[in-house]
Every structure is written in C-alpha cells, then in structure tokens.
Amino acid sequence: MAKLSFNLEDQVFVVTGGSRGIGLEIARLLLEQAARVVICGRKEEGLETAGRELDGGSRLLAVPTHIGKSDAVDRLFEMTVEKFGALDGLVNNVGMNIATGVVDADPGLWQKIIDTNLNGTYLCARKAGQMMREQKKGKIVSISSIAARRAAPFMGIYGVAKAGIEMMTRVMAQELAPFNIQVNAVAPGMVKTKFSQPFWSNAEIHEQVVKAIPLGRIAEPADVAWPVLFLCSQASDFITGQTLMVDGGASAV
C-alpha cells in the first residue's frame, strides 16, 4: 500500500467563493499542501484582496465568476485548464442566505437563493464531473449546512437548497463512482465568518447557539477547511456519497 499523504503537490483545485470566509481558508490550506488553486467570486475587488492575502504566486489564479450562469462556469474551468493544464478537484463553497421563511417568501427571493446555493453548485459539479470522467479520477466536495437537516427560523430557503446539495452529492457519487471520482460534502453548523456575523455577533443569539453545541463553541473557518482537505486527499479514496457533519456535536443531541 502506498504511503498515505495529505500532500497535494501540483494537483489543481477550483474553490468557488474562495475570496473570503471558509472558502479563503480552504484555498489557503490547499496552497499550504503545495496544490495549485483557482479561486472564484463575483467581485474582482474581493478576489484581488484574497490574492494578496493568500500570496500563492504562480500557483494561484483568481477568476471573476457568476456560478449561476453556465457560460461563466464553462469559462472558469476553461481558464483553469489553460493556466494549469488539469483539474483534480472542485470545492463548491459559494453560498448565500437572506433571512426568510418559505411560506411567505417572495418567489424572486426563492429563486435567488436557490440559484446561488443549489443551481450554482450543480453547474460547477456537472462541469467538473464531465471533465474528471474523461481522466477517470477526481474529487468533488460541496459545502452543505446543518440547516439541510434541521429547520430553523430565517434559514428556510437556504436549508432547502443545502438539502438539495446533499441529495445531489449522493446521486453524483453513484453516477461517477465507476470513474474513480469521489463526491462528498461537509455540513458545518455556525461558523465565525462575515456570512454569519449577524448571528454570532449578537450576544443573546450566540449564547443560545453555543448552549446547543456539546463542544461549547462555534466553529472557526479552519475547523471546516481541515475536513475538506481530508476529502480532497487520497485519505478519502474509498469514501463517496457522504456528508460529514462538522458541528461540534450539535446534531448528536
């Protein structure tokens, strides 16, 4: 048996939403493992700031991308291959939420949240899966959420979208397994990022959330990035179609 290694030297990974928060931390960790990394986001300014912070040199490429548009997704992967000549892994990290329920939500708001979280993930995973199928290897990891399994106030449409990502993960894992492609997901609870700041910065809400977490704190971005690294590495070669809960034990109670 080959010696196990988390080293990803010269492997090529696309990280959507890689300019901040969890995505930025994932990109940083992949670069530390000697991978070549492509980050994308909708705002060029955010990508420029992330590029300076990551300092990946020639091993980093930033591509402005609206992942809800198939032509933009095609361009993202074309530029990845043009720059690095390959695609070994995809981390679907882009996500957004607008606090809302479902019953009284405006249909336009429903579409916006679904397009960003579920459809964007689908378009990227579809394109990556097609490319990886030709080379008969690859890793696809999507960021889900505890909201996919536990209904919560103000997380209605977001939770529906993330639940769709988890089912898509299982379906794609089955379809791509014959081609030695592993498809998995990571589902965090609350993570201390700008995305969730309206919740964790409120002392009362923060206290309520922490009370429900056996490990007694909310996650930092690195708490999510490390499990993603595991699923991007050869250590997960016999794991597919799974969603790894990264919630400090909240779903165990």
Annotated catalytic sites, by residue?
A: 158
Instruction: Return the pLDDT at 1.
Output: 46
Q: In the prediction, which pLDDT does 107 show? A: 93
38, HSE (Cβ side, Cα atoms, 13 Å)? 25
CATH pick for 12-252 out of 3.90.245.10, 3.30.1330.10, 3.40.50.720, 1.10.10.10: 3.40.50.720
Q: What is the pLDDT of residue 5?
A: 62
Q: How far apart are CA 46 and CA 40, in angstroms?
A: 10
Q: Which helix (H) or strand (E) holds 208?
A: helix 203-211
List pLDDT tens digits, range 213-235. 999 999 999 999 999 999 999 99
- Do residues 54 and 60 touch, judged by C-beta distance below 8 A? yes
What 8-state DSSP symbol labels residue 119?
A: I
The answer to whether the Cα torsion of 22, 28, 34, 38 is positive or negative is positive
Parts of the chain with a pLDDT under 70:
1-5
pLDDT of residue 2: 53
Domain residue ranges in the chain: 12-252
